[in-house]
């Protein structure tokens, strides 16, 4: 398999928030993009940006050099790839499927086998960086699968990410992504607990974070995410609590499958579940702070007006 330098036809399936941004970047790079999304409104937005429309994943994949996926979970990915109207039914020859969703490694390996049976390739290529890095083309892309297939797709992926790393064979990208997002969830929950505790004990949360930021407890989430969410009192979803909970649940299943006890992960999953039960799931992951504020009867930023659950 040789690397091509010419611009190619890319089928992009799942052109909602993240997929919409990534498919737009491919269009801007000069690629021909054929888009499909189960949500007709998302598909229409992609067409308005210059993509060609498709009637199904099978239709989108027909004649494509590379098929990219950005979908919400493993069941949807499996149906889109292997269903009767799926990608494998439309892909001809040695095509490459690049799954940028976050799913479990077992589903990835199963789909990799299905693709290989008909002479195609399946890469798991989940991303990190959120909508901000997606818009600037600076995502981190962690890739599992055949090295030659990655090199075949690297010129396309280079329009989307500044850090493209092959981390191992099929499923490895998903393993790394689930570990990353599990750590994110632990940090989010830990920040919520500590900041609310500090506020209840009488120290302003901004003072706490100013010190922690330059101390051993600092983190990317604290430096980059909380200023846009908790400290702006804005929980517009950059990465929703529902999606984080999905990833944490997948991590737990993965850990159970390999026989590793993960009590911290299990406790964090319960925290996220409790926040979702309060109607906060569609909001940004940092909204966990709001749940702790309500339980403690204190605001992290006391000068801000009170808020209600689910808003």
Q: Is 177 a catalytic residue?
A: yes
Beta bridge mates, 116: none
Phi, psi for 113 (deg, rounded to 5):
-65, -45
Q: Determine how β-strand 127-128 pairs with β-strand 139-144.
A: antiparallel
Q: Residue 2 pLDDT > 60, yes or no?
A: no
pLDDT at position 5, please? Answer: 40
Contact 131, 153 (CB under 8 A): no
Mean pLDDT of the chain, nearest integer: 93
Phi then psi for residue 309, to 5 deg, are -60, 145
pLDDT for residue 24 is more than 70: yes
Q: Are 169 and 190 in contact (CB under 8 A)?
A: no
pLDDT value for 215: 97
Q: What is the pLDDT of residue 102?
A: 97
What is the model's pLDDT at position 94?
75
- Give the model confidence (pLDDT) of 75-109 as tens digits: 999 999 999 999 999 997 779 999 999 999 999 99
Task: Assess whether pLDDT exceeds 80 at residue 196.
Answer: yes
pTM of full prediction above 0.75? yes
Please tell me which residue in 177, 200, 246, 273 is annotated as part of the active site. Answer: 177
Q: Which domains does the chain have, with CATH numbers?
A: 9-170 (3.40.50.720), 175-296 (1.10.1040.10)
> Does pLDDT of 228 surpass 60?
yes
Residue 70 burial (10 A CB sphere; 0-12, 13-18, 19+): buried
- 65: pLDDT strictly greater than 90: no
Residues 6 or more apart whose Cβ sits within 8 Å of residue 201: none
Residue 3 — very low, low, confident or very high, per pLDDT cuts 50/70/90? very low
204-220 pLDDT, tens per residue?
Answer: 999 999 999 999 999 99
Segment 174-188 mean pLDDT: 98
């Amino acid at each position: 398999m040789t690397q091509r330098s010419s611009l190619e036809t890319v089928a992009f399936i799942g052109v909602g928030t993240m997929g919409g941004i990534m498919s737009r970047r491919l269009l801007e790079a000069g690629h021909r993009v054929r888009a499909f999304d189960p949500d007709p409104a998302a598909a229409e937005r992609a067409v308005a940006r210059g993509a060609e429309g498709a009637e199904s994943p099978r239709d989108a994949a027909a004649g494509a050099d590379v098929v990219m996926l950005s979908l919400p979970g493993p069941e949807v990915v499996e149906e889109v790839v292997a269903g009767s109207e799926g990608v494998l039914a439309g892909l001809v020859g040695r095509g490459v499927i690049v799954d940028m969703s976050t799913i479990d490694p077992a589903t990835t390996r199963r789909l990799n086998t299905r693709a290989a049976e008909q002479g195609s390739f399946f890469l798991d290529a989940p991303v990190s960086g959120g909508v901000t890095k997606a818009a600037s083309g600076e995502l981190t892309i962690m890739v599992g699968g055949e090295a030659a297939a990655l090199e075949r797709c690297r010129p396309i992926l280079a329009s989307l990410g500044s850090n493209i790393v092959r981390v191992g064979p099929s499923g490895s990208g998903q393993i790394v992504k689930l570990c990353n997002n599990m750590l994110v969830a632990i940090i989010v929950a830990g920040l919520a607990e500590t900041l609310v505790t500090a506020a209840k004990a009488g120290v302003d949360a901004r003072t706490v974070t100013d010190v922690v930021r330059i101390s051993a407890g600092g983190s990317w989430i604290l430096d980059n995410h909380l200023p846009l969410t908790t400290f702006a009192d804005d929980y517009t979803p950059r990465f929703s609590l529902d999606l984080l909970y999905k990833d944490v649940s997948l991590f737990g299943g993965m850990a159970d499958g390999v026989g590793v006890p993960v009590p911290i992960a299990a406790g964090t999953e319960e925290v996220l579940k409790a926040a979702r039960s309060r109607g906060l799931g569609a909001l940004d992951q940092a909204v966990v702070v709001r749940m702790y504020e309500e339980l403690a009867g204190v605001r992290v930023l006391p000068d801000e007006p009170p808020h209600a659950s689910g808003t």
